[in-house]
Chain A
Amino acid sequence: MTAQYDKTPVLQTKNLVKRYGSVTAIDHADFELYPGEILAVIGDNGAGKSSLIKALSGALIPDEGEILLDGKPVHFSSPMEARALGIETVYQNLAVSPALNIADNLYLGRELLKPGILGKVFRMLDKKEMERRAKDKMTELGLMTIQNISQAVESLSGGQRQGVAVARSALFGSKVVIMDEPTAALGVKESRRVLNLIKEVRDRGLPIILISHNMPHVFEVADRIHIHRLGKRAAIVTPQSHTMSDAVAIMTGAMEVGESEGEAA
C-alpha cells in the first residue's frame, strides 16, 4: 500500500445499517474513501449501493453505525448538511435548471452577494464575480469550449451539462465529490470527456466516489473498486489486481473473495 492508504480515510463508515421494514438495505457496511483517490462503487441492482451512497450524501439517515469524516463522527439529517461539510453530490439527473445560465446554475442556492450596503441591505447579487469565478472554474477544468458563461444550460449538450454539474461540485466540494452514473446518458465521445474531467478533479486533490454500471469506465478511471453485494462490501479490488470478469463475478456472487484477500491483492 502506498502512503495515501495509510492515512485517515476522508470518508468512512463503520457497521452502517439501514432497514426498510423487513428489508435490510445496508447490512453492517464498511466503507473507506482515501485522500486523492477515485473510488468506484459497483454492485448489482438491489445490492444496496444507492442506499449506501444516499447515507453518505445525507439523503438517508442510517439506523445504526457511524459515518466518519476526516476521522470524526458526523451526522447528516439532510443533503444540505452534508454539503455544508464539503460533501458534494452530482446527481444522475444533474440538478441543473435548464432555463438559467451556467453561472447562475453553478451558484444556484449559494449565490454571492455584492459587498457593502448593496449586498447587505438590498441583497444584490454579485453577478460579475459569480461569472468570473464560474469562468475560472470552467477553464481550470478544461470546459471552456463552452464559450459563453451566460448561455442557458438548455442550449448545452448532455456532456456539457454534466460538465456544469461537475464544475459546481468541484467549486464547492472541499472534501468529497460523489458522482452518480455520470456517463449513463452520454455518447462515446462525451463519456470520454467526462471521464477526463473526473480525473482532472481527482488530480486537483478532491477524492471522488464514482457510482457506475459501466465496467470499462470504472476500470479506466478508478484507483480502487468497492464491490457491494447483499448490503455490504464484498471486496475491494483494483483494476490492476482483477479483471472486469472477476469484478462481475464477485458482484454477482459467482466468485467469493475475502475482504482481506481483495485488499491485499
Chain B
Amino acid sequence: MSSNNTKPSTAVLDHDKVADQASTYVAKFERKETPLQRFKKFLHHYPIAAPLIVLLLAIVSFSVIVGDRFLHPFNLSLVLQQVTIIGVIGVAQTLIILTAGIDLSVGAIMVLTSVVMGRMAVNHGIDPSLSILIGIGVGALAGFINGLLITRLKIPPFIATLGSWNVFFALNLWYSKSETIRSQDISNIAPLLQWTGQTIDFFGARLTYGSLLMLGIFFLIWYALNWTAWGRHVYATGDDPEAAKLAGIRTTRILMSVYVLAGVVCAIGAWVLIGRIGSVSPQAGTMTNLDSITAVVIGGCSLFGGRGSIYGTLIGALVVGVFRNGLALAGVDVLWQEFTVGILIISAVAIDQWIRRGTA
C-alpha cells in the first residue's frame, strides 16, 4: 500500500494549492533606498567599517589640528605604546563579551598577577621566567574561579566578576603589602620582567616588545576565533546558548575555556604593564577595566554576544589612544579627554543599535 502514494485525502489539501497561485504582491514593497539606508546596510555588512572610519577621521583631524607633531613616527609609536595594555586586556574582554558575558575583574587580575610576578622574582629570588609562568598560572586560576562562579553557581557574569574584582584586588593589596617594587630593583634582579618595555627601532618609530607581543596575541586569538572549531563554538555559545547546546556544543566547557584564557591573557598583560611602567605597583592600571570594555564596544562587539571581531577591538583601542594622545597634544585638559571617550562609547553603541534596527 505504501508503494501507492496517491492518497484519497489529497482533496483536503486544495487550500494549499490555491495559495501557490496567489499574488505575491503584498510581499514586495517597492522601496527606494536613500544613500543613508545604503550606508547603513554597508555598515551592517562590514561592522568593522564604523570604527575604522572614526579612526581615520580622528587621525586626519588631529594631523590637521596638531600638525606634524601628531604624525611623527615617534608620536605614533607612543600611541601604540599607550594602547598596548588596553589592547591586550581588550583581547581578554573581547573573548568574554563574545560569549555574552562581561568581565569586570580583568584589571584586578592583571594587577594581581603583576604583583605575583614581581614579588616572586624580586622578593623570593625565583627565576624571572619561572616567575612569569607562575603569574600566568595565577591568571589562569583567577579566570577558572570566574568561570566556575558563572557556569556552576550560575551567577550572572556582571555580578560574579564584580565580586571577584574586589576579591582579587584585596588579595593584591594583601600580597603586595601595599608596597611598590622599585624599577631599580627589578632591573637589577629580574630584567626579564621589563623586557616588554624595551624598544626596537623600526624606521624611526620606536616599538616596544610589549607592542609586538600585543600584536602577536591579537593574531593568535584572531586565528583561534576564525579558523578553529573552538572559535566557531565561542560565537555560537554567545549567540544562542540553547541552540549551541542542541547542536552538540558543550557550552559550559567553552565558557570555562574562555574565562581561563582571558585570565592567561590578563597575566600576559601584567608582564606588558611591568615593562611599560618599569615598577610593580598594586595601584597600577586601575582604569584598565573600563578602558578594555570601551575598546571592545567601540570596536563594534555586541554586548549581547556572538557578534564582533577581535581586530575591531584593536581598532577600538587605537581610537581611544589616538583621541587621548591627539587631545593632549592639542593642549586639551585631561578631563575633556575623559569626556570625549565617554561620548565615543555612547556614539559607538548608538550607531550599533541604529545599524541593527531594521536591517537584520
Instruction: Enumerate chain B residues within 8 angstroms of A24, measured Cβ to Cβ.
Output: none
Contacts of A125 in B (CB 8 A): 227-229, 232
Q: Which residues of A contact B228 (CB under 8 A)?
A: 123-125
Q: Which residues of A contact B249 (CB under 8 A)?
A: 108-109
CB <8 Å contact, B229 and A123: yes
Contacts of A122 in B (CB 8 A): 223, 227
Given A37-B2, A100-B232, A123-B228, residue A192 in contact with residue B246 (CB < 8 A):
no
Q: Which A-chain residue is minimally distant from B2 (CB atoms)?
A: A223
Instruction: Say yes or no for A240: interface residue by CB 8 A criterion.
Output: yes
Instruction: Collect the chain B residues with CB atoms within 8 Å of residue A116's CB.
Output: none
- Closest A-chain residue to B230, C-beta based? A123
Cβ-defined contact, B16 with A192, below 8 A: yes
Most chain B beta-carbon contacts within 10 A, residue among A94, A99, A104: A99
Confirm or deny: B1 has a beta carbon within 8 angstroms of a beta carbon on chain A.
Answer: yes
- Let me know if A109 and B2 touch, CB within 8 A: no
Q: Tell me whether A4 and B2 are in contact in the complex, defined as CB-CB below 8 angstroms, given that A125-B232, A219-B7, A240-B8 are known contacts.
A: yes
* CB nearest neighbor in B for A215: B12
A100 touches B227 (CB 8 A): no
Residues A56-111 near B (CB distance < 8 A)? 79-80, 83, 91, 93-100, 104-105, 108-111
Residue of B nearest to A114 (CB): B227
Q: A154 in the interface, Cβ–Cβ < 8 Å?
A: yes
A-binding segment of B62-70, B111-119, B183-191, B233-241:
B233-241
How far does the alpha carbon of A238 sit from the alpha carbon of B7 in the complex, in Å? 10
CB B218 to nearest CB in A, in angstroms, measures 17
Chain A, interface size category, equals: 35 or more
Q: Find out whether the CB atom of A2 lies under 8 angstroms from the CB atom of B248.
A: no
Cβ contact of A99, chosen from B1, B15, B227, B306, cutoff 8 A: B306
A197: shortest Cβ distance to chain B, in Å? 15
Interface status of B247 (Cβ within 8 A of chain A): yes
Q: Which residue of B lies closest to A224 (CB)?
A: B2
Q: List chain A residues, Cβ under 8 A from B10.
A: 220
Cβ contacts A110-149/B at 8 Å (1 or 0 each): 1101000000001111010000000000000000000000
Q: Which of B3, B247, B307 has a CB less than 8 Å from the CB of A2? A: B3
Contact A97 B306 (CB under 8 A): yes
Task: Establish whether residues A79 and B248, one from each chain, have CB atoms under 8 Å apart when the complex forms.
Answer: yes
Bitwise, B295-317 to A at CB < 8 A (1) or not (0) is 00000000000110000000000
Residue B20 at the chain A interface, CB threshold 8 Å: yes
Quick check: is A239 within 8 A (CB to CB) of the other chain? yes
A137 to B230, CA, bound (A): 24
Q: How far is the CB of A183 from chain B (nearest CB, A)?
A: 11
Question: Complex Cα distance A109/B248, Å?
Answer: 6
Complex-state Cα separation, A80 to B253, whole angstroms: 15
Contact call A216/B247, Cβ cutoff below 8 A: no
Q: Is the CB of A124 within 8 A of B227?
A: yes
Whole-angstrom distance between the Cβ of B247 and the nearest chain A Cβ: 4
Q: Which residue of B lies closest to A95 (CB)?
A: B246
Residues of A within 8 Å of B227, CB to CB, are 122-125, 127
Report the minimal beta-carbon distance from A206 to chain B, rounded to whole angstroms.
16
Is B9 touching A239 in the complex (CB atoms < 8 A)?
yes
B232 touches A99 (CB 8 A): no
In the complex where A111-B229, A219-B7, A219-B9 touch, is A97 in contact with B2 (Cβ < 8 A)? Answer: no
Interface residues of B (CB under 8 A from A): 1-4, 7-10, 12-13, 15-16, 19-20, 223, 227-230, 232-233, 235-236, 239-240, 242-244, 246-249, 306-307, 360
| 8 smallest beta-carbon distances between A and B, as pairs | A95-B246, A109-B248, A111-B229, A97-B236, A188-B19, A108-B247, A95-B243, A219-B9
7 pairs, CB–CB < 8 Å, chain A vs chain B = A100-B232, A108-B249, A110-B248, A113-B229, A124-B228, A125-B228, A220-B9
